[in-house]
Structure 1
Amino acid sequence: MEIIPLQYPLTAHAPAIEAVPKTLAIGHFDGVHRGHQNVIRRAVEAARVAGLQSAVMTFHPHPKEVLGQGEQYVTCLTPLDEKVERFRRLGVDIVYVVHFDIAFAAVSPSEFVDDVLRPLAVKKAIVGFDFSFGSRGAGKTDTLRALGQPDIAVEIVEPLMLNDRKVSSTHIREALAEGQPETAEQLLGEPYAIRGTVVHGEGRGRTIGYPTANIEPEAAYVMPRQGVYAIMAEVKGKRISGVLNIGVKPTFHDQLPKPVMEAHLFDFNSDLYGQSLTIRFISFLRKEKKFGSIDELIAQINSDALQAREVLSAYK
């Protein structure tokens, strides 16, 4: 799979553009959830039928972050490199990463079609039903169809519904904020994951019989609700079950500047400092709470570990 960065206007980057006829799925695709997957799969399938290359166009950073339309969009469900890897798994040939800035935000719908899609030799564009483009989102799906004539066909993919609600990145963010990783998994098609580096912490867990890996996220991920979770960790290609706390450790601190992630991995004793691992959130066990003594905390951790083992034993 080829990854091609683009910046508007494309004429400044013409040497990087090979105008090979292609299908193109267009969207930000944060999370690459099951609805996004439907759009991308249609681009791949249509390309195969027509003998074309399949491509995805995504935008970085998030348009709403650049336009100041929501502080929440500073965080993401999938950092760019993870997003691109999911495109690869879906069988995409080319990924165009468009640098989204104020200049690109001012592009009109017709300029987007004439100055971006046509130079890329797009023969068929595939978008979701609620796709909008161009300055202030003025272009809608009908606009794209009209502007694409006669050389760019347009296919609109209908929304994927789950429990009478559209599968969306917003729904996933809400599920995570409410401590519902199971719902997030249904929407994503896989457990929500955060990749991080193991850093030195206070070392207290080892003294009470529960050594923990303190994890510093490697990107500005959407953080799930604070509390205790049953997790699966991927370490050096191995999957290890465990329990994780996101919080401010109120038993030991009156206030921390930000929540921390601490994972206890079952039946695992290797040194992980400085290593990267991926945490997959399986089930929310309880809220974080302040305990009156260390013995109370240890008793609760014992209970959490037993509950997590039970949850994870049934997890496929």
Structure 2
Amino acid sequence: MGESVVVIGNFDGVHPGHAEVLRRAREVGGDLPLVVLTFWPHPASVVRPGSGPRMLTRLDERVALLRAAGADEVRVVDFTPDFAQQSPAEFVEAHLVPLRPAHVVVGENFRFGHRAAGTVETLTELAGGRFAVVGLPLVHVGDEETCSSAVRAALDAGDIRHAATLLGRPFRFTGVVCHGDHRGRELGYPTANLPVPDELACPADGVYAGRVTRLDGRDAHGAALASGVEPAAWPAAISVGSNPTFDGVERRVESYVLGRTDLELYDARIAVDFVDRIRGQVKFSSVEQLITQMDDDVRRARAALA
């Protein structure tokens, strides 16, 4: 391949700080192809099994977001125990030099190589004049650094408005709709249910207003959309949690599309975009109390999305 400008990082969530790194790389590299080098799974989950952070996006979503942010190519490095043992010099020779970088752009806190021994200064030394290294300061939103950890903290607190500010977009949770307990339909509020894998981030248990979008190119009833037609983003009331009123144990994202009981979404891949928090999770003493609260949740979700 010809020369390129290379950006390196985890890029979990692809927030505005990450987008700024890509923008600056494009600025530095001019017409050179912009190649992003990222890692999967998260290094911490390999170096310290069980301690890795919950990811803000799936890998395919990260790649799509990076391309939308300006990447011409995304190279995914499989972060294995063997890879974790590579020295900084081995990393440069095996993964950077073959890309023929004229410039390598990273965040100023970039670390690489065995035991994260490599820094921006190390990378500059190892470049040996073969490519230029640019270390960029972190982007701030107000007085807060824009970082994936801050987004996770906001989600854990149920503060999805702040998470959206840090991400530059509403937080999105995706998955394939599965069969639940069918109680929602019996109560007059049929829901599209997504399991919450342990490795993915999700807002704190509670009820939210948001939107649901089908991602498989089909409409509400499973018919293929015409070429060029964008899928609808349906307003929804969204419950996150284990359904404690019925002593549930599996954590799920359950979305009721407002005013719709005709949707056919089983086995469809959907996206749930969180817009506002309505309340925390509550265990009700009766089904009647639950229905009364659900009526109010739907009213408040409509108001939040109006």
Normalized against structure 2, the TM-score is what? 0.90
| 1:57 aligned partner, one-letter code | L
Which residue, out of 280, 296, 302, partners 1:303? Answer: 296
2 CA distance for matches of 1:69 and 1:125? Answer: 30
| 1:271 match | 264
2 CA distance for matches of 1:258 and 1:217? Answer: 8
- The root-mean-square deviation of aligned C-alpha atoms, in Å, is 1.6
2 CA distance for matches of 1:242 and 1:77? Answer: 21
| 1:43 match | 25
Contact 2:42–2:52 (CA<8 Å) still a contact in 1? no
Deviation at 1:157, TM superposition (A): 1.3
Q: Within 5 Å, which residues of 2 pair with 1:14-163?
A: 19-47=1-29, 49=30, 51-68=31-48, 71-73=51-53, 75-163=54-142
Deviation at 1:89, TM superposition (A): 0.8
| 1:243 match | 237
Deviation at 1:20, TM superposition (A): 1.8
Is 1:294 the counterpart of 2:276 in the alignment?
A: no
Q: Could you give the per-residue CA deviations for residues 224-259 of structure 1, whole angstroms, max 9, x where no partner exists?
A: 101111111112411001111111222222xx3321
Which range is displaced more, 127-136 or 234-243?
A: 234-243
Contact 1:194–1:217 (CA<8 Å) still a contact in 2? no
| 2:302 aligned partner, one-letter code | R
Deviation at 1:63, TM superposition (A): 0.8
2 CA distance for matches of 1:72 and 1:118? Answer: 29
User: What stretches of structure 2 of length at least 5 have no aligned partner?
Assistant: 219-230
| 1:298 aligned partner, one-letter code | I
2 CA distance for matches of 1:126 and 1:142? Answer: 12
Contact 2:35–2:75 (CA<8 Å) still a contact in 1? yes
2 CA distance for matches of 1:270 and 1:247? Answer: 22
| 1:292 aligned partner, one-letter code | S
- The list of structure 1 runs, each at least 4 consecutive aligned residues, that deviate by more than 4 angstroms after superposition, is none
Q: Could you give the per-residue CA deviations for residues 134-175 of structure 1, whole angstroms, max 9, x where no partner exists?
A: 111111111112221312101111111123121111001100
2 CA distance for matches of 1:85 and 1:55? Answer: 13
Deviation at 1:46, TM superposition (A): 2.6
Q: How many residues align?
A: 290
Contact 1:231–1:283 (CA<8 Å) still a contact in 2? yes
Deviation at 1:208, TM superposition (A): 1.9
Is 1:190 the counterpart of 2:169 in the alignment?
A: yes
1 CA distance for matches of 2:140 and 2:213? Answer: 30
1 CA distance for matches of 2:50 and 2:199? Answer: 15
Contact 1:197–1:217 (CA<8 Å) still a contact in 2? no
1 CA distance for matches of 2:161 and 2:50? Answer: 26
Distance 1:311 1:72, change over 3 A: farther
Give the secondary-structure state (helix, strand or coil) at the position aligned to 1:223: coil
Contact 2:195–2:251 (CA<8 Å) still a contact in 1? no
